[in-house]
A and B are shown apart, each in its own frame.
Chain A
Amino acid sequence: DAGVTQSPTHLIKTRGQHVTLRCSPISGHKSVSWYQQVLGQGPQFIFQYYEKEERGRGNFPDRFSARQFPNYSSELNVNALLLGDSALYLCASSLGNTGREQYFGPGTRLTVT
């Protein structure tokens, strides 16, 4: 079975631009969570979606938004990019919505110049 997939792998954007990151969960998993990881830190929670509804939101500005589609794949959108948005963006897939046993995709490395 395929694991969690994310695209693109790497991305370079300029300040002020917009970016869309994509994630497909493990087959049968209905929950997708997004995390941001900067160098030297643990991942920070951004959003959780379960059954196409937002179930949790971390302490991130409104420039960050996400959605989940009927096939349970998900998109993370970031508007008006700042240099500080440069990070590894991780998508995690889980069976339910309790946050337990989350499996991560390979991540998208975003660089903002």
Chain B
Amino acid sequence: QKEVEQNSGPLSVPEGAIASLNCTYSDRGSQSFFWYRQYSGKSPELIMFIYSNGDKEDGRFTAQLNKASQYVSLLIRDSQPSDSATYLCAVPSYGKLTFGQGTILTVHP
């Protein structure tokens, strides 16, 4: 089992819809979780982080964490074509980040 797993997609949603991106992790001791957005040909950009169970909202983004199920998700409300990118889930451990393979999101007009 991989340490961090994501569905590679592609996930396609219409403009204005909610995009839901999911990530599971294997280490029950993980305490924090990060979401990065990566546009094609660019480097990853940190967009959200969450440390405790429940939801964390920042603008159109909501991160949800369920430690019992070892599951973290990212919701993007009112999706825009500019949200089209690869979304990477990352878990820190002993100074390093372990990434999932990323989910490709396409928002079509």
Pick from B44-52, B53-61, B76-84 the stretch touching chain A.
B44-52
In B63-106, the 8 Å CB interface with A consists of: 88, 90, 92-102
Distance of A98 Cα from B96 Cα, bound (Å): 8
* A-B CB contacts (within 8 Å), total count: 67
Q: Chain A's nearest CB lies how many Å from the CB of B29?
A: 13
Q: Are the CB atoms of A98 and B43 closer together than 8 Å?
A: no
Residue from B43, B93, B101 within 8 A of A106 (CB atoms): B43
Q: Are the CB atoms of B88 and A42 closer together than 8 Å?
A: yes
Residue from A88, A97, A99 within 8 A of B97 (CB atoms): A99
A42-B101, A101-B34 are contacts. A56–B44 as well, Cβ < 8 Å?
no
Q: Are the CB atoms of B101 and A45 closer together than 8 Å?
A: no
Q: Are the CB atoms of B42 and A106 closer together than 8 Å?
A: yes
Distance of A107 Cα from B38 Cα, bound (Å): 12
Closest CB pairs A-B (n = 4): A42-B99, A99-B92, A45-B96, A99-B95
| Residues of chain A whose beta carbon lies under 8 Å from any beta carbon of chain B | 31, 33, 35, 40-45, 48, 50, 55-56, 58, 88, 90, 92, 97-107
